[in-house]
Amino acid sequence: MTSHTTSPAAEPSPSGGRSEGQEPRVTTVELFFDLVFVFTITQLTSVLIGEPSGIGLAKMALLLAIVWWMYGGYAWLTNMVPPVRLLPRLLLVLSMIGFLVVALAVPTAFGSGGVAFGLGYLLVVCVHAGLFLTSVPARRSILRLAPVNIGGAVLLLVAAFLPAPVRWAIWALVPTVHWGLPLLRGSVGYEIRPAHFVERHGLVLIIAFGESVTAIGVGVSVGGTALRLSPGLVLVAALALMVLLGLWWSYFGGADELAEQRLVAADPPTRARMALAAFGRGYYLMLAGVIILAAGVKRSIGHPWETGHLTPAVAIGGGVALYLAGDAALRHVLRLRPMLPRCVGLALAALSIPVGVAAPTSAQLAMLAAVLLGVFAVERWMAPVHSGPASG
């Protein structure tokens, strides 16, 4: 990444502002916020573990769409209104409490935890709207968006008291409206500071990778009893880590720096549209891929030599493919080249599913690690051809 939370620019000046001419960087309170938010990633992995079916996948997808929408809202908020004064920091802490309640309620959000999820989410939305109103340039836009956000949160709360079919309809409606509205209204009124924006999203992705490693580690126990540390178990864990490192490198191997450059070069309206498409929708697919991959590895790590398990194989291969699809979408929006190796890697990741069914999990993970290594090797070979600015 191009900067770190420890950079001098990340700290406020004695007057509460930033040094003149320096763009605000991610503050430690924002990083703390991200740590609380990413707890939902672990919880969403648990949803898939507990319900490894199409219904479980649908729940995970809807929950992620809803919470990621508001995480993005806070990323845009702190990009425009840096939390360097006491009141904004206190309100940001209040929103952390809301996100913590949301995360705790995730496993039962479609049932007994629906009320807790709705109340926590309503708190997150209301604090977000209040903080955004302190930014004069974005006040007009947030006044148009806040009623939709608050209305969605109220609907989710009401859904907890309604029959299952109506509840599902509301849960599908809310993220559809949230993510569809900017396509109709645009992002006029939002000023993006590229360095902070890219760094903030990069940090939450790194934390998500860390949470996934933790989830895989938790999988090395059954009912609280640690599994025997056999060579097969160690091999699966190591190969899973290699795959996660490959996914990390696919973005942090230089795409993050190029992404910042593309946003800097764009005019403000275009920059806002690119940010929403790349770091909103593209990152959604990437995070979903990490969640699904972690769930697949966690389900299979205790059976390193067994074959014929379709669900973990689909989760592992599909998770990597979904991540690469989000990565490709981000690169397309930001005009990062080359694209072909990523698309080939995506297809090969999907083709690893039959391998995961017919062979042990370690064979599928080894194939995926090799695919990612091949993608990066081909891209490095193609780099001189695509070293100039992207066209179109």
| Residue 280: strand, helix, or coil | helix
Report pLDDT digits (tens) over 241-299: 999 999 999 999 888 999 999 999 999 888 989 999 999 999 999 999 999 999 999 88
The residue that leads in pLDDT, 267 or 144, is 267
Give the separation between CA 382 and CA 308, rounded to whole angstroms: 38
3-state DSSP of 315-358: HHHHHHHHHHHHHHHHHHHCCCCCCHHHHHHHHHHHHHHHHHHH
Token readout for 248 is 């990390």
Per-residue CA distances from 235 to 59, 75, 303, 351 (Å): 31, 38, 11, 22
Beta bridge partner(s), residue 126: none
Burial of 252 (0-12, 13-18, 19+ CB in 10 A): middle
Give the separation between CA 300 and CA 292, rounded to whole angstroms: 13
Beta bridge partner(s), residue 222: 225
Report pLDDT digits (tens) over 18-64: 444 456 678 999 999 999 999 998 899 989 988 999 999 999 999 99
The answer to which of 22-36, 42-56, 218-232, 321-335 has the lowest mean pLDDT is 218-232
Closest CA to 187 of 64, 58, 273: 273
Give exposure, 309-340, as e/b (b: 16+ Cβ within 10 Å). bebbbbbbbbbbbbbbbbbbbbbebbbbbbee
Residue 230 clears pLDDT 90, i.e. is over it: no
